[in-house]
Structure 1
């Protein structure tokens, strides 16, 4: 599967539980929506990722990727210590200048 470098970097950071490297994949004012909550800006995204890593130990296995201009949809299996693991989630990306401008994680 041919993924954009920023998504490959994001998955690598997630699988290493490296929240700083994860946040570096985003623009300064990026927005992440997950579990019904918005997380805005790199600092908030890094803190959110660190918290979820501590709680769930989530790793991501890409299953499919589609790209439409500045938008991308990654379907991936997420597994960890959360109820219902593993689960297949859709990661809806918007890109800007080679970084992630927004990420919406949905079922």
Structure 2
């Protein structure tokens, strides 16, 4: 699957549980919406993903990417009830970094 470099880097960072590298895929002013909660800015995104990594050890397997809509369907698995699950990642990329990400089930 041919993914934009930033999304490929995000997946690699997640699979390595590297919250610093994960957060660096985002702009300083980016936001993430996950489970109805919004995280603002790179530092808050890093804290959110580090906590999730510590608790769930989630890895991502890309299933489909729609470039025109910047949407990734992926199977996630880890230490959580209902694993594995398929989620949809709605990206907004600007100048090679993620400006926004909304994760839906």
TM-score tier after normalising by the smaller chain length: over 0.9
Structure 1 unaligned segments of length 5 or more: list them: none
What does residue 101 of structure 1 align with? 99
TM-score of the superposed pair, with normalisation by structure 1: 0.97
Question: C-alpha separation between the residues in 2 aligned to 1:81 and 1:11?
Answer: 17
More helix as a share of residues: 2
Task: Count the aligned residue pairs.
Answer: 105
Report runs of 4+ in structure 1 exceeding 6 Å deviation. Answer: none
Q: Distance in 2 between matches of 1:13 and 1:37?
A: 21
Aligned to 2:57: 57
- Equivalent residue in structure 2 for 1:77, among 55, 68, 75: 75
RMSD across aligned positions (CA) = 0.6
CA distance in 2, matches of 1:74, 1:97: 19
List alignment gaps of at least 5 residues for structure 2.
none
Q: What TM-score do you get using the length of structure 2 for normalisation? A: 0.98
